[in-house]
Structure 1
């Protein structure tokens, strides 16, 4: 089969690799029809985090089940499914608590199960991992593209909002205008926030934030304000009780805690990078600001978010601003690296 393989900084190639096969009774083999390039894929792509070379890459698969092991009960060949960015068994202590990313049997997609930017993946623990899309939507391309972000960024933005404690009538701030930040705006609106301030560095992305439900936007940097936290504090009259940090960089965390009202909560989901010698906790300590969040257990949210997608009340698909074939995935990486695309849809 064909699959994307990471060979080092700015070097992703599509190569012939062995097709995965059923190895255990709980496995399913899925033919990938939709996948994506994630912002977290850019860290190794830019040489800013370590990754084995060569190695399969990608973690947002959607496709059609082709074969299942003898113990699989939740899906069957022909079913349309998607999978969160981590494998989870669905039965261990942590899965039962909704912390699927801490599953004791957990795994990623980049090993011998295929890598999700390829033609096939083997899904271990299929009953715990795969989410089935009802047959009536199995060929509805609009619905499928709206559901694909549930593999990662929509569930991650939702985790930021939940961790920040967003509820009906609240004022909240979303720091970050990438795919996760934009989905954080959608999540805050879905949870009933009455005022959503989106903070970012790109005017065109903040326009999408407004389409997604942001009531105000703050452009930081060139052409915008120099200190976003100070500006947010001014326009909100002392900061927000609920702040979503959706970037993972030190500057974004500083903006988030600076925009938080004393006694408020920062829900963070950005993969930590560039924190230097460590996060300065004094601003949190001094104003009794709670820091909550972490890697998003998107499987815990998948069913409720899918219901809203299929019901027509949730559509994160506008985050896909470029579509490429698997063979052209290197151009997708380039476009995201150069900020020409927010998120790239890949159709093998």
Structure 2
């Protein structure tokens, strides 16, 4: 079979490799049919994210089940499924607490398509076939009527955005939301804005400096403002930082109101001094870290199936499978490849 290999910044190539085979009764073989770039992928391809190759590429996608082990009951060949990017058993302590990104049954950070960071043995989803362990626990059937390309990022980036606004809006219905958008986590910030609108926030403000992202935020129903968050916007019960850097992180925290909740979905490569005294006085909760994607995927798919949330505006390029390598090197905001 063929798979896409990242050899380093700006270097992608298709390679022939042996097909994976079922070796455990809880496994499934899947054929990716719509795969998407994660927000870190363009940065990796530009050499801005420290994840050198070579490694099998791709960790977001929808696939068709090809074969299943004898113990698999939740899916069968022919089913279309979202493949979570993190490897999780569904049974250990962390998984039982919905902390599937920290599954205790496998080495820390085990994921598809993230090289040595996630373990080379899992392979990538930009491939003709992928082997999925713990298929009943991991794979999420795609509801009828949903285009796989629309939710190709339901493996990672959309659930990442959901965790930043979904639980908070469930606790505080109608609460206003501020998203500090930017280049560190561009699609996650946009998905967060769109999900907040879908979940009934009374006001969703998306602040950014880039016209393409501002237009997408407006298309998702958010109030799109060009520039930086400032005091004139007031404070918000829920804030999301997706721009990266200490300045943006501090601005998002300063914009978080009394008993508010701020989530940083970007990766901070340097230590950042936080305004802890103000956070203390306002009883402000700050959360950062990797998303636990698997538990949020059904909620995301339900919103899409119900017509309440359409992630499609965030996709800025859709290409045929054979054109993937060339299109990826152009590093669009969100690329989806289909076959």
Q: 1:327: Cα distance to partner?
A: 3.3
Q: 1:252 aligns with which of 241, 248, 252?
A: 248
SS at match of 2:229: helix
Q: 2:265 aligns with which of 266, 269, 273?
A: 269
Q: Distance in 2 between matches of 1:176 and 1:80?
A: 32
Cα 1:242–1:129, aligned 2, differ >3 Å: closer, same or farther? same
Aligned to 1:6: 6
Q: Distance in 1 between matches of 2:251 and 2:129?
A: 41
Q: Deviations over 1:286-328 (max 9, x none)?
A: 6543202421112111112212212222211121111123333
Q: 1:196: Cα distance to partner?
A: 0.8
Structure 1 residue ranges, 4+ long, deviating more than 4 angstroms after superposition: 163-166, 285-288
Q: Quick check: 1:174–1:199 contact (8 Å CA) kept in 2? A: yes
Instruction: Show the 5 A alignment for 1:125-140.
Output: 125-134=134-143, 137=144, 140=145
Q: Distance in 1 between matches of 2:99 and 2:38?
A: 21
Cα 1:219–1:345, aligned 2, differ >3 Å: closer, same or farther? same
Aligned to 2:197: 189
Instruction: Show the 5 A alignment for 1:1-348.
Output: 1-106=1-106, 107-110=110-113, 111-134=120-143, 137=144, 140=145, 143-162=147-166, 167-176=172-181, 178-214=186-222, 216-220=223-227, 228-230=228-230, 233-235=231-233, 238-270=234-266, 272-274=267-269, 276-282=270-276, 284-285=279-280, 288-336=283-331, 341-348=332-339
Cα 1:299–1:143, aligned 2, differ >3 Å: closer, same or farther? same
Q: Deviations over 1:319-347 (max 9, x none)?
A: 111112333323332332xxxx3200012
CA-atom RMSD in angstroms: 2.2
Q: Distance in 1 between matches of 2:245 and 2:133?
A: 32
What is the TM-score with the length of structure 1 in the denominator? 0.86
Q: Distance in 2 between matches of 1:255 and 1:277?
A: 15
Q: Distance in 2 between matches of 1:328 and 1:262?
A: 49
Q: When the two structures are aligned, how many residues end up with a matched partner? A: 325
Q: Distance in 2 between matches of 1:34 and 1:64?
A: 10
SS at match of 2:60: coil
Aligned to 1:224: none
SS at match of 1:61: strand
Q: Distance in 1 between matches of 2:133 and 2:327?
A: 28
Q: Distance in 2 between matches of 1:105 and 1:325?
A: 36
Q: 1:126: Cα distance to partner?
A: 0.7
Alignment gaps of 5+ in structure 1: 221-227
